[in-house]
Structure 1
Amino acid sequence: MSNTRHMLSVLALSLSMALSVLPAQAALPLSVDGQDMPSLAPVVEQVTPAVVNILVSGKKVTRQEIPEQFRFFFGPDMPDAQVQEQPFQALGSGVIIDAAKGYVITNHHVIDGADEIKVTLKDGREVKAKKIGEDQQSDIALLQIKADGLTEIKLANSEQLRVGDFAIAIGNPFGLGQTVTSGIISALGRSGLNIENIENFIQTDAAINSGNSGGALVNLRGELIGINTAILGPNGGNIGIGFAIPSNMVRDLSEQILKYGEVRRGVLGIMGGELTSDLAKAFGTDKQQGAFVNQVMPNSAADVAGIKAGDIIVKLNGKAVRSFGELRANIATMGAGKTVILGVIRDGKEQEVSVTLKQADLSETKASVLHPALEGATLGNSEPGSKVTGVVITKLEQRSPAAQAGLQKDDVIVGVNRTRINNLQELRTAMKNRADILALNIRRGDATLYLVLR
């Protein structure tokens, strides 16, 4: 018994020392054999009402290729593939960031293709959610719910995070219901993982599993530091390597979605890579981290600001740049038109350059992201000075759903449900809250026609 008391005393002392940085409200003394034991219960009780479970349902269009011998037997009218709609359901998590307006942040992949989104609150209430907007490249989506008595999580400044900070992950793993795990920040600025197109992840060893996507990663003050997104695991289970989208990226992207209905991505207009020790030596700097500029695009934001090939970007708005991937992700989540200050090393000397970001090129996109009936078509903006201004079908797969709907290559979409369309951005806006039936106004040569999508 004395040995047991001694072990408990040592454990209590170790935990007290390790968690001495906890704010007062996060440490709940629990008496164990006369020793006060710290607890995360108070901060967990504070934030868990703001983390929700998400259930989505919808239909996915699948294409099953038909063997060549069958197509030969039935002749040229036989389609290349059989198109089917298959119902699906998926589970995930979300975080309430504005209780008054009912805004909920989650991952794009959680609600991708959903026809119906249901949110379950911690108190058991179930409400329907409306999708406000999403960004596939950064894997962020913004929903809205209507309910009384909601609780929100305040967003922290993720630039102030340090490796070794404590972190708490909250979500709905495997549909079990709300679950809390804890760990530390294992690394910052993770990129090049090929998880998403734009990557600047927080890495944590707090257990994250399937269903945690869209859930909260919070600090010991109960502030949101990230949205849990992905794990690295051979069998889809937790091995202590999880990734979250930083709260500053979440803030920038959600503000753009609320303002414009979409993300208007900023772009520098450079190509480059990581700063290596050989490059640093060749260009006369002792810096070991940064983004090396290989090429500057003509008339880009970087070109206008005076950035040159061979420059080494080491700071963004006063904060150190660890890699080219981190710089790209941070710039991409800032809105077009924002002005940033870059710390640039040129000829071995550091200088500051002010750059006003231009909007990323939205000249082409896969039509299936707008409507499943348009799968197989690629859309692009009409060329400046074209006879007809609108959205052009630049590519079309034969016998695809888009082709079966009646679209043809070089068709120009000039209207949706009697709303004039001049470019891809306007088409996205018109189709964002699509009705059950969409009437596309098409210019085909000199003819005008309507195609109805259901």
Structure 2
Amino acid sequence: MKIKLMMLHVTLFCFSVMPAYALEDNGIKDLRQTGKAFASVAREVSPSVVFIQVESKVSDSARTRFRLPFGDSWPFGDEFFKRFFGEPFPGIPRTPPSDKPQSEHRIIGQGSGFVFEVKDGLLSDKTYILTNNHVVENADTIRVQFQNGSEYNAKITGRDPQSDVAVIEIKASSMPAAKLGDSSKLEVGEWVVAIGNPFGLSHTLTVGVVSAKGRTSIGINDYEDFIQTDAAINPGNSGGPLVNLDAEVVGINTAIFSRSGGYMGVGFAIPINLAREIADQLIDKGEVTRGYLGIVIQPLTADLAKSFGVEQVKGILVSQVSDDSPADMAGLRQGDIIIAYRGEPVTNVGSFRNRVSLTQPGSTEELTILREGKQMTLTVTIGKLTREKLAAQTSSQSAEKLGLTVQTLTPQLAEQFGVKMGEGVVVTEVRPGSIAAMAGIEPGTVIMQVDREPVKNAAEFKRAVEKSSDDKSILLLLRRGNAQQYVVLSW
């Protein structure tokens, strides 16, 4: 009997242990499969990725000890959004030392890119490479290197500073081209791979997930619809591909959020659907033609929706309509709420601007709006956006150091907030976790003064904030309702 009981005990023990071993074995197998998936992506995409080295000439009058490739200061401040070149990182070439006085000196910068379209034929032996505009915009010479070590001189096919997309070309055929995916199908939480040349380390692969989609109003480009990822990207990754597990390019790595200049878990990539449309125009025409409506728009907050008699917060608010613009001729008015464009819902300011800009000028489109609580459909003929029109319709400014965006007051907004025209700017967005948010500044707050100087519009506000950058602090006079108070923001 004792022997039988012992055998039964051993048998039960074995059955209880076996599932644990089986689970452990399955877990390792799953990890191996995941690792092999990343390795497969690297093998397929890396031959299409190039290391870009650019050289430009800068006069001695602008010379500093450590140089950015094409400028003296970070475009978004030392502690916020940084392009991928700036700190004196190891592996990033800098200005060659020279003891001789000279009127010009060379600046060398690095970035990444990838082959995205190859045209073969007797009369066309060009290979096109997609990258960021800020990588090549002021380059005198451009050199690209492939994974196999082959090197080529490149020239610029076309640049679009507004979207930060550029196409360069080399005289070579049959170069491996990366497959382009559909960034609209990308989901938050999906695995992605970043491939590039961080710190000059050629063809480096990092892995992460899609953290968010549709990031707009960040203040990096004029036209934004960023994919946010936690895949490690660093100086030198700029212009490289963000790839899904099907080895398809879904974005162009463009910028990082960093307090140190290096990876901190927040990176941004331009969706490939947007980049592809820009690149096609750059190849065909050398420039980008954008659609134009002639309106200034802003997010529809809960408070604004309530004041306009709208129960649900959906759509965007028209705060200004330019005279004789396509929007004006279509009958669009200040205070209208746009809820759909071309039959598709309008969810935020950034995506709407992108959709209009990519609409062919001269085409006739439908706008669905809410006016005084009633839904209407307007037909508008899209115009062509020029630099003058772009400057005229930009009445909002983003202050990245503070973490907020402000809007020039319109007559309707001035009346709503109980101030006179020209008596400040209204805050339209506040980034969560920013110094402005921690100071209690909310959308709808009116900023009347910056460092005791009145600000009349968004442009004056931006200049005042930039003037205070060296002091690392700023004094604001705020108005909330009928109350005014001073607030000091430091960074």
Shorter-chain-normalised TM-score: which range?
0.5 to 0.7
Specify the alignment match of 1:183 in structure 2: 208
Do the aligned residues in 2 keep the contact of 1:64 with 1:83 (CA within 8 Å)?
A: no
Specify the alignment match of 1:321 in structure 2: 346
Structure 1 residue aligned with 2:48, among 35, 47, 50?
50
CA distance in structure 1 between the partners assigned to 2:339 and 2:21 by the alignment: 53
Do the aligned residues in 2 keep the contact of 1:249 with 1:330 (CA within 8 Å)?
A: no
**TM-score (norm: length of structure 1):** 0.66
Structure 2 residue aligned with 1:11, among 27, 32, 46?
27
Secondary structure of the residue aligned to 2:37 is coil
Secondary structure of the residue aligned to 1:221 is coil
Query: Is the alpha carbon distance of 1:64 and 1:229 closer, same or farther for their aligned partners in structure 2, counting shifts above 3 Å?
Result: closer
Structure 1 residue aligned with 2:127, among 102, 111, 130?
102
Please provide the CA RMSD for this pair: 3.1
Specify the alignment match of 2:402 in structure 1: none
User: CA deviation digits over 1:276-301, x for unaligned, max 9?
Assistant: 01122233434434321011112212
CA distance in structure 2 between the partners assigned to 1:222 and 1:305 by the alignment: 45
CA distance in structure 1 between the partners assigned to 2:311 and 2:55 by the alignment: 54
Specify the alignment match of 1:125 in structure 2: 150
CA distance in structure 2 between the partners assigned to 1:338 and 1:172 by the alignment: 42
**Letter matched to residue 167 of structure 1:** V
Greater Cα shift, 329-338 or 48-57: 329-338
CA distance in structure 2 between the partners assigned to 1:228 and 1:64 by the alignment: 29
Q: For 1:3-42, list aligned pairs within 5 A.
A: 8-9=24-25, 11-12=27-28, 15=30, 29=33, 39-42=37-40
Is the counterpart of residue 92 in structure 1 residue 92 in structure 2? Answer: no
Specify the alignment match of 1:233 in structure 2: 258
CA distance in structure 1 between the partners assigned to 2:263 and 2:41 by the alignment: 24
**Letter matched to residue 27 of structure 2:** L
Do the aligned residues in 2 keep the contact of 1:60 with 1:113 (CA within 8 Å)?
A: no
CA distance in structure 2 between the partners assigned to 1:9 and 1:319 by the alignment: 48
Aligned length: 332
Do the aligned residues in 2 keep the contact of 1:275 with 1:288 (CA within 8 Å)?
A: yes
Is the counterpart of residue 356 in structure 1 residue 372 in structure 2? Answer: no
Question: Deviation at 1:151?
Answer: 1.6
CA distance in structure 2 between the partners assigned to 1:163 and 1:263 by the alignment: 30
Question: Deviation at 1:258?
Answer: 2.1
Do the aligned residues in 1 keep the contact of 2:296 with 2:319 (CA within 8 Å)?
A: yes
Specify the alignment match of 1:263 in structure 2: 288
CA distance in structure 2 between the partners assigned to 1:270 and 1:253 by the alignment: 22
Secondary structure of the residue aligned to 1:240 is coil
CA distance in structure 2 between the partners assigned to 1:181 and 1:319 by the alignment: 36
Query: Is the alpha carbon distance of 1:187 and 1:216 closer, same or farther for their aligned partners in structure 2, counting shifts above 3 Å?
Result: same
CA distance in structure 2 between the partners assigned to 1:227 and 1:293 by the alignment: 31
Question: Deviation at 1:350?
Answer: 4.3
Question: Deviation at 1:2?
Answer: 9.6
Structure 1 residue aligned with 2:176, among 147, 151, 154?
151
Question: Deviation at 1:313?
Answer: 2.1
Do the aligned residues in 1 keep the contact of 2:127 with 2:173 (CA within 8 Å)?
A: no
Question: Deviation at 1:166?
Answer: 2.3
Query: Is the alpha carbon distance of 1:229 and 1:282 closer, same or farther for their aligned partners in structure 2, counting shifts above 3 Å?
Result: same
Query: Is the alpha carbon distance of 1:338 and 1:213 closer, same or farther for their aligned partners in structure 2, counting shifts above 3 Å?
Result: farther
Structure 2 residue aligned with 1:63, among 61, 64, 73?
61
Query: Is the alpha carbon distance of 1:205 and 1:136 closer, same or farther for their aligned partners in structure 2, counting shifts above 3 Å?
Result: same
CA distance in structure 2 between the partners assigned to 1:318 and 1:11 by the alignment: 47
**Letter matched to residue 85 of structure 1:** E
Specify the alignment match of 1:161 in structure 2: 186
Query: Is the alpha carbon distance of 1:347 and 1:363 closer, same or farther for their aligned partners in structure 2, counting shifts above 3 Å?
Result: closer
Gaps of 5+ in 2: 1-16, 64-100, 120-125, 392-491
Do the aligned residues in 2 keep the contact of 1:337 with 1:356 (CA within 8 Å)?
A: yes
Do the aligned residues in 2 keep the contact of 1:252 with 1:335 (CA within 8 Å)?
A: no
